[in-house]
Amino acid sequence: MNRSFIFAKPALNASAFLFLCLCLLVSTSTLYAVEKERMNVLFIAVDDLRTEASVFGNKYIHSPNLERIAKMGITFNRAYCQQAVCSPSRSSLLTGTRPDTTKVWDLETHFRKALPDVITLPQLFKNNGYFVQGMGKLFHGSLDDPQSWSVPWTNPKKEIEVYALPASRPGANAKGVKANKKAKGAAFESADVPDNKFHDGALAEMAVKALQSSAAKKEPFWLGVGFIKPHLPFVAPKKYWDLYDPAKINLAANPFKPKGAPDYAFSSGGELHAYSGIPDGAIPDELARKLKHGYYASISYMDAQLGKVLDELDRLKLTDKTIIILWGDHGWKLGEHGAWCKHSNVENDTNAPLLIAAPGMKTAGKSTNSLVEFVDIYPTLAELCGLQLPKHLEGTSLVPVLKDPTVSVKSASFSQYPRGAKVMGYSMRTEQYRFTRWVNRDNPSKLEAVELYDHKNDPQENTNIANDPKNADLVAKLTEQWKKGWKGNGVVSSQVK
């Protein structure tokens, strides 16, 4: 297939002129419906993957298949989730709306409670003639959405998945997590077993079969594949552990809370402390290295399973007909700020992986520092496939960035995280700053605390400078920008500084 798609400009001949005339008579969605072939979509979700992989400059991570996608498309260095925990992030991305719209701030609430008629991203494709199939972790846990799929969602048998308890659940402590060591096994394991003995290996086999089935169908497909590693527990076959030398694994450079930050800005990593063998309080250095070793091994294990899916796409000669997107639902801390896991508004947690590859990209292999958000994924895929955008979306198409990685479509990205039932932290990431306002959830006009980090001089966010009198004017300026919200921070393809 000619990989021209949306990025190349073929010469205008008589046939093309006639086709353009027909385009004037039909809508965009109808236009794509009459084409001989429409783009497939391979939609890959990865659980708890932070931007620590070879595609983000960390060459000590063995992840050749992430590199493989990056070479076909664009790597987004500064993509941000809307809330750094599984269900709120996924609900936001898959509906194209933000947590205050979905009303999903925990791990138990289904977005259809607040948005009963919303059209999800996969549902949009299903409604437009795609065969839509989902497997693995796409929506959070058991919170499936049957109307999103052409066939029922499936999941392979797996080792026990565990998640942090939301602060709203009775019995949870003030930091949002209740340790229950009786319910969890070890936090890591190196097992000399085949790949398919664990969830992601079995999932890759399911995805391969789904591709084989889809290749025989006439309609285009949208296939969602949700890998769960490197989510805890860090369980992976031994050969992936053997890729790393434990002696070369470094500990976090900033194992302390930011100076001047409110105590509730962080959780201590109770999700990790819920496992056996994890002591209360600080994690000893030797154990920290072992945990990081397990995290890295889990990334490489997931990456190898991803490779099996990409190999089958190539074997079936579908790669040149398929848009590939890979995203991690949020970042993760590995001892930074004296904490582990996610559950905060810091850069480690809100910045997450995003790779997009579309056939015909002239910018393949590039990366971009443009600020983007996960709510932008929905309109981007819809535009790439010529589907009419629903009116409920709260993001911006990234097609301009795919065409030119040096442009930006927004001046800020927004994330949020609740602390219990009383406080919500709303965070804004600009070109240079992270600015977070903690407000009372019952009375949002009541300000509880402010955080400000200068990424030019303090990229690790170690010192909150919001309370320094010399920064009063800057705080006031950022407050005005923050008050404009996501609607007031859009730009039209400006250059990234």
Q: pLDDT tens digits, the chain, 497 residues: what are they? A: 334 445 444 444 555 544 444 444 443 333 333 344 799 999 999 999 999 999 999 999 999 999 999 999 999 999 999 999 999 999 999 999 999 999 999 999 999 999 999 999 999 999 999 999 999 999 998 899 999 999 999 999 744 343 332 332 223 332 333 334 445 799 999 999 999 999 999 999 999 999 999 887 888 999 999 999 999 999 999 999 999 999 999 999 999 999 999 999 998 667 999 999 999 889 999 999 999 999 999 999 999 999 999 999 999 999 999 999 999 999 999 999 999 999 999 999 999 999 999 999 999 999 999 999 999 999 999 999 999 999 999 999 999 999 999 999 999 999 999 998 899 999 999 999 999 999 999 999 999 999 999 999 999 999 999 999 999 999 999 999 999 999 999 875 666 65
Mean of per-residue pLDDT scores for the chain: 89
* Spatial separation of the C-alpha atoms in residues 125 and 423, rounded to whole Å: 37
Catalytic residues: 86, 140
For the chain, what is the radius of gyration of the CA atoms? 22
Q: Which two tokens stand for residue 72?
A: 């076909």
Q: Find, among 205, 217, 214, 63, the residue nearest to 136 by Cα.
A: 205
Phi/psi region, residue 458 (left: phi>0; alpha: psi -120 to 50; beta: rest), is: beta
Q: What domains, with CATH codes, occur in the chain?
A: 39-401 (3.40.720.10)
- Residue 440: φ, ψ to 5°: -75, 130
